Structure 1
């Protein structure tokens, strides 16, 4: 099956010579949840803006559902919904009218039943007659999602969708994302809450300084790049790491009560047996041990620290 979104050799240079994107290539399949991670200024919003037709690329092509976003922009844009970072809306308009108007912008016939379904799914039904200026920040964020869904897009961009949203609203939004994926909608999100990407995404892309530095299935990424830590709870605190253990990838907790050994889980010989023998020879006893796997956040931070 061809990808629902194909980004080929996209670059963007703004006036003044700043290059926001450098030869970005990316393909996203129908129905997947793709998380695009990167620090501020990495190019995430510029890339989303190009795909959504808000910014023109300097070079390259983007196909949405097989439609070129420049040559066949009406059909391409009809497939795309965007939830931007900014809370921009018509302050004096009602929730119902705002969402219905967004549907009409794409030439879709009026469908009150569908608009009601969207508003109910976002817990906005009891606010449908409220003016947007009376809503809280979290409710306004929900309205932005409702607007993006009003024309029944097949590709939904969520640009930092839960920024400034409380835990309850965030949970509702991710339940909605899961239900959209079940209907075949492709969801592409940027987020600073990396635990959300770790829980929700099928694949992860990392962008830094305008370049895609990695695209990988989330589970495979964690398998390949994730490290494990063996944490030993010592019977007696240590003032420092003994000379006999020098050269080992060891750290000592500030209190001296835990010895932490970091190793690559992919390697057949992790060195744990050698470490335990060295501890016994040094007369260091421990009362318990446990292992921890690197999180997606650990991997993300590690990738950004690698030299470019």
Structure 2
């Protein structure tokens, strides 16, 4: 799913990635900060109308939680109505306005029971434009500042598929201390692996179909054939099934198949493993020597 973002690169994410962001510490701290700001500024004058502080905090917590829930439900509903396999693009105003309409009704109904406030259609229509504008400000802060931090913390790479025309200008990078070596392509598959099967998240895959597997908390992103799946599982369980020469683990969160590797780009500070489909896999600093040794052995074997 792709959500249009007026501030640059639009994020694209799966349902699982969206849930990971909503459960992340970065987002939960942001949600708590929103609640504290709403309480501190006494939005709509609830405490001035006689609402106890504890009730005011609870109502705004319900407000934020309900807004996030309805917002996510609109995205999921929009995704469910789309033909399978197609990317869905959705203006941010659609889930925002829908969620805030529901939340405004809910909060006014709750607030009228704890303060001297009128709950009517007239009051609802008075509050709704202000609430939508306020929520749009918080949502914009979320997209500009919080989402990139959550993306980096979780390693999701939500901006990996950039929309044409939205790419930021590429700034020249300083030359590395150690010159990069040209990519050395690898040919053919490791012998003796055809017919081998591995089990990931309860699903069986032919080993020759796997390109790479990336660990994301309690889930694995599996690239196999022409598809990419997200399954619950542990990378350690997958590695225990792998033949020794089937691939390598350049990073604690990655396993890549030998057949998928196109070459290694060396750098002064870090190496990057290049896959045939264009994916770039980071090489952990502590595994650089091992990866380089394996790459040399594979290339020698291809000769």
Considering the TM-score relative to the shorter chain, is it more than 0.5?
no
Question: Quick one: higher RCO (CA 8 Å, sep 6+), 1 or 2?
Answer: 1
TM (norm. structure 2) is 0.28
Q: Which has the higher strand share?
A: 1
